Structure 1
Amino acid sequence: MMFYDFTYLLFIAPAIILSLIAQWMIRSAYVKGQQSPASLSGYAAARKILDAAGLTNVQIEQVPGEMSDHYDPRDRVLRLSSDVYHGRHLTAVGIAAHEAGHALQHAFGYIPLVLRNLAVPAASFGSGVSWFLIMAGILMNFKILLFAGIVFFSFVVIFQVINLPVEFNASSRAKQLLVEHGIVNQYEMGPVNKVLNAAALTYVAATLQSVMTLLYYILRYSGRDR
């Protein structure tokens, strides 16, 4: 229903455009980085960074899929997609170092990561029930349901806002550590920077879309769109 509402489309149009740009940038940067050889594979780069930080207990696993790389703080496992795990190119070491950066954040008690992990249950629950409550509230003109949906959806928005500094910091750590440990020299950092900056832009676009969607819901609740 919302997608037939011009007001909603107007609200989220900037975020959609930014998301499309970010997806194009990350795809382009990913492919170009694959064409630039690195001295280590993604696995070896991540292992070197983790071991140097004393995180020998953090395991690295290979997982299927593309761009499925992530750090699991519950199991203390860094999971890398096949191309990143085995790849000896700048895209692979850049992404692997970024995920290793999350492991370092976890080990050293980086506050935004702590807050993000605390927000995960509320965000997961909120994303599951908010759409149903909001749609029911709009269709039945039942404002209490719409209000409840807005509250639950705000948990998702809060999570995404908290997540931004976590991702930016992991990328910043990755860039520093790659040079610091001699995995990539400063003259080879161009493709790494492009991949990590494009990835960061996707998080910005997702957060912007959530924020604008929340504002749209609030507008519907206030009745000022009529």
Structure 2
Amino acid sequence: MFFYDSTFLLLIPAIIISMYAQQKIQSTFRKYSRVFSGGSYSGHDIARMILDKNGLENIRIEHVRGNLTDHYDPRSGVLRLSDSVYGNRSIAAYGVAAHEVGHAIQHSKRYMPLEIRNSMAPVVSFSSRVVWLIILLGFFLGIAGFIKIGVFLFLAVVIFQLVTLPVEFDASSRAIVQLESLGILYDDDIKGARKVLNAAALTYVAAALTAVSQLVRLLILSGYGRRD
């Protein structure tokens, strides 16, 4: 059965990197959640200031439950900040809040990689739900057509993960520029915010590597490129 195929070894480096990335973002965020800038601004305040500074007064900010569940919703024009960011005055909160505003700025400027990712989202949402069912049916029933369809669907997931990388790196870069321009964080504080964002970026790198490794594994298992 393909579950136990030796090609699973292809996933081991990605699994290790993913585990490290998760540990890194948790430990880095926890560390800089205890480091404060000395000001009285919260993560919400920082996000609001950056939004207004960039002419995005129409973007609402909402409080969402959870830890590191922060995100920008381009469909509704809402920036959602988590429990650990919304009312927090730490360097970590500032970095994450500014990063999510970075996505709002990308959206307002029609940043091409973000446009591509948003256009792919519905397809990828469907693909991620059905791809493994189709592939499993293909293997168990011996229907090569199902396997090929599954591989193509998974290819969309891989492309989505790869396009996500420049989107996230650019949002982090914009965040640092905005934080510096506000004149609230300096030197070590900026370095701390950058470390938080770099740790978060590693999780996206790990996700992309996992997706690519899984695609290669599926191609091998399905016999693509094999001569009859």
Query: TM class by shorter-chain length?
Result: over 0.9
Match of 2:117 in 1: 116
- The 5 Å alignment of 1:109-188 reads 109-188=110-189
**CA distance in structure 2 between the partners assigned to 1:28 and 1:2 by the alignment:** 36
SS in 2 for 1:60: strand
CA contact (8 A) 2:120 2:160 kept: yes
**Aligned-pair distance for 1:190?**
2.4
Structure 1 range deviating more: 108-117 or 182-191: 182-191
Distance 1:196 1:5 in 2: 37
Once the 2 structures are TM-superposed, how far is the Cα of residue 191 of structure 1 from its aligned partner? 1.9
Q: 2: CA distance between counterparts of 1:166 and 1:51? A: 22
Deviates more, 1:73-82 or 1:36-45: 36-45
Matched residue SS, 1:79: strand
Which residue in 1 is equivalent to 2:201?
200
**Alpha-carbon deviation of 1:5?**
2.4
Q: 2: distance between equivalents of 1:144 and 1:53?
A: 50
State, as a whole percentage, how many aligned pairs show the same letter. 47
How far did residue 32 of structure 1 move?
0.9
Q: Structure 2: which 5+ residue stretches go unaligned?
A: none
Does 2:211 correspond to 1:220?
no
Structure 1 pair 217–28 and aligned structure 2 pair: CA distance change class (3 A): same
Distance in 1 (CA, whole Å) between partners of 2:64 and 2:185 is 24
The match for 2:4 is 4
Name the CA distance, whole Å, in 1 between partners of 2:215 and 2:222. Answer: 11
The answer to whether the Cα contact below 8 Å between 1:45 and 1:183 also exists between their aligned partners in 2 is no
Letter in structure 2 aligned against 1:134: I
| Cα pair 2:36 2:90 within 8 Å, conserved | yes
RMSD over aligned Cα, in angstroms? 1.2
- Give the gaps of 5 or more residues in structure 1: none
- Report deviation, 1:183: 2.5
* CA contact 1:84–1:92 (8 Å) conserved in 2: yes
Counterpart for residue 33 of structure 2: 34
* Deviation per residue, 1:80-115 (Å, 9 max, x gap): 002200000001000000000000000011011001
Q: How does 1:47-58 map to 2 (within 5 A)?
A: 47-58=48-59
The alpha carbon displacement at 1:125 in A equals 1.0
Contact 2:2 2:221 survives alignment (8 Å):
no
CA distance in 1 between counterparts of 2:18 and 2:127 reads 23
Which sits farther off after the overlay, 188-197 or 67-76?
A: 188-197
For these two proteins, the number of residue pairs brought into alignment is: 223
Seen in structure 2, the aligned counterparts of structure 1 residues 213 and 35 have a Cα distance that, compared at 3 Å, is: same
Q: 1:192 to 1:218 in 2, by over 3 A?
A: same
Whole-angstrom CA distance in 1 between matches of 2:31 and 2:191? 10
CA distance in 1, matches of 2:179, 2:186: 8
The answer on whether the counterparts of 1:179 and 1:186 sit within 8 Å (CA) in structure 2 is no
TM-score relative to the length of structure 2: 0.94
TM-score, L = length of structure 1: 0.95
The Cα offsets for residues 161-197 of structure 1, whole Å up to 9 and x where unpaired, read as 1111000000011011101111211331222111110
8 Å CA contact retained: 1:11, 1:216 = yes
1:13 aligned residue = 12
